Amino acid sequence: MSILADIRKDSRSRKDSMLVLGSHPAIIQSILDFDHLSGKKEPSIVGIVTANRKAEKYFFGTREILIPCRPGIGGSDAPAWMLNLQSGRRTYDSTVAFFETYPQALGGHIFAENVPEKHTLDLMRRFGRKHLIVGPSGVGLLVPGALKLGAIGGIDLAQMAASRIGTKGNIAVISTSGGMTNELIRSVADHGHRLSFAAAIGGNLFLVSALTDLLMLVQEDPDTDALVYFGELGGHDEYEIVDLVKARKFTKPIVAYIAGVIDEAFATHVQFGHAKALVAHSGESARDKRDALRAVGVGVPDTFPEVLAALGTLPQKRFTDAPFAIDTLLRRQKSILSTRQVADTGALSEGPYVKAMLEALIGRPVRSPVTLAFADAVFTYTIDHGGQVSGAVTTMIAARAGKGLVESLAAGLLTVGPRFGGAVNAAAENWIRGVAGKESAREFVEGMNRRSELISGIGHRKYRVGVPDPRVKALSAFAKKLEKHPHYDFACAVEKVTTGKNGKLILNVDGAIAALMLDILAECEESSAEELTALTDAEFFNALFVIPRSVGFIAHFMEQKRNDEGLFRLADDLLFVRKETT
């Protein structure tokens, strides 16, 4: 089976999946529009390699989606294609990294101009025959209804619809010019044909995958009946067509146009738009190439209008156009994206409130009763810890000053931070780093000490060795429900080191919650290390304190409203400390 037939066979096989290196919103959106117009159920883009963000927002049809971003090429997925949108100087390293990471990938497209020739030659040597890689300096690769790798076919929704690139046809287009590739695709559609395959090989002197390889794809493709080719002066690519036709290795009808005869009007040869478009050696003029192609029987019109007329003579094939409902797509408007849905009232009795709350936080269903039981215990044990803690005090002071519920609750929540309640997330980061780093607890503690950093999750003002926090004891019982608990084990090992220095440096409730929730999510919910890190990035673990403690703050607010003691004021002898003079 040819690679084209393999791509067309079944979109569920994900032979269309691609990783985008660099960000170009217009090109990326055009690929997603192509996917939607081709009837795909999910986008072909699995990720974008770009720094300083976690996701980029796009449309899939009329629905807004987030495409995940990553800082580097590695990942658990295995994309079939690379779309490299990075600058010319960065292209080489990123392309090598992609194909070394994903050697099973089918190929890719290099969009950038100004890629150094030595880089292209090395990529050709290393990957040109193993993978189908078009470019540099092109618009990509297109298999109608199956794959759009780049700006090929256009980036405007109406243009793509008019070119009918969602419908599979029987005419192939190959071009050295990106703009002419899209022009020919549109012209093929306007003359009653549909496309089977298109590629822009690029305007550079050297190509990663040879023109011959693309021509043989067309020859071997049972769905392709003819080829439309656009070339120009400079280089020797067209002689590959001559050799294949002469050897009868390429037998399908060709309509070819070679641009650049105007070069003959100048006293010396002129450099045209592409790097390759310069007559530097014998046989590279547009006229020489036209004559060579005509000598082996290829149809080569003298003018572009004659090319358009020749399109009408190509083999016809019956086709059914995919529906293009672009009216609603053209009226898309961006919003603040939320995937949260209003609860179905018919499902409200199916589970406890804590289940709905936890699923809202992690963004997917909770499967294990252990996870729910632990979350319920955490919420229960952390609702309140007395009226003397900073958040409760601030809530009560605001209530007695006559503030309402929302204002008083906000006042209390604003005290949550690294010294009060906000250490759960930092503790989770500690335990993740400790386990992933495979260092001993003593090395971890000594490293923190050298950096003069406090260890979040360790230490308590009230409890100590011999006087344990009952909440930690109760929560620690959940470790027995797990087969493995590496984060909890690491936290306990750190506690053993720290309590050897000071009896108050025990594992506190923040550290216990963080360690046990990490282990429960990993084992019971099968969360990956990447997913756990993403939860810490989003401060999920602090939410485990903020949600229940908000209830506690509200309870203190209600009590103050019931008591109605009036405005709170400290006694003068508590506010001022007088210094005795001698």
Known catalytic residues are: 274
Place of tokens 């990720």: 47
Task: Using DSSP bridges, classify how beta strands 45-49 and 55-60 pair: parallel, antiparallel or unpaired.
Answer: unpaired
The CA distance from 342 to 98, in Å, is 41
Pairing outcome for strands 45-49 and 63-70 = parallel
Hey, how many other C-beta atoms are within 10 angstroms of the C-beta on 336?
6
- Cβ atoms of 430 and 455 within 8 Å: the answer is yes
β-strands 147-149, 140-143 pairing: antiparallel
Long-range contacts of 449-453 (CB under 8 A, 24+ apart): none
CB 77 within 8 A of CB 17: yes
Token pair, residue 563, equals: 């008591």
φ/ψ of 72, rounded to 5, equals: -140, 180
DSSP 355-408: HHHHHHHHTS----HHHHHHHHHHHHHTS---TTSHHHHHHHHHHHTT--HHHH
Sheet with 171-175: list strands edge to edge. 147-149, 140-143, 195-200, 171-175, 226-232, 254-259
For the four alpha carbons of 430, 434, 437 and 439, in that order, the dihedral sign comes to: positive
Q: CB of 76 within 8 A of CB of 528?
A: yes
Taking the C-alpha atoms of residue 485 and residue 94, their distance in angstroms, rounded to an integer, is 38
| Unique residue bearing structure tokens 């409760």 | 392
CA 131-132-136 angle, to 5 degrees, is: 115
Closest to 170 measured CA to CA, from 148, 144, 146: 144
370 contact partners, CB below 8 Å, separation of at least 6: 478, 481, 482, 520, 524
Note the helical H segments in 419-571: 423-437, 441-450, 470-476, 486-499, 509-524, 529-537, 540-563
Count, in order, helices (H) and strands (E) of the chain: 23, 13
CA–CA separation, 284 vs 437, rounded Å? 59
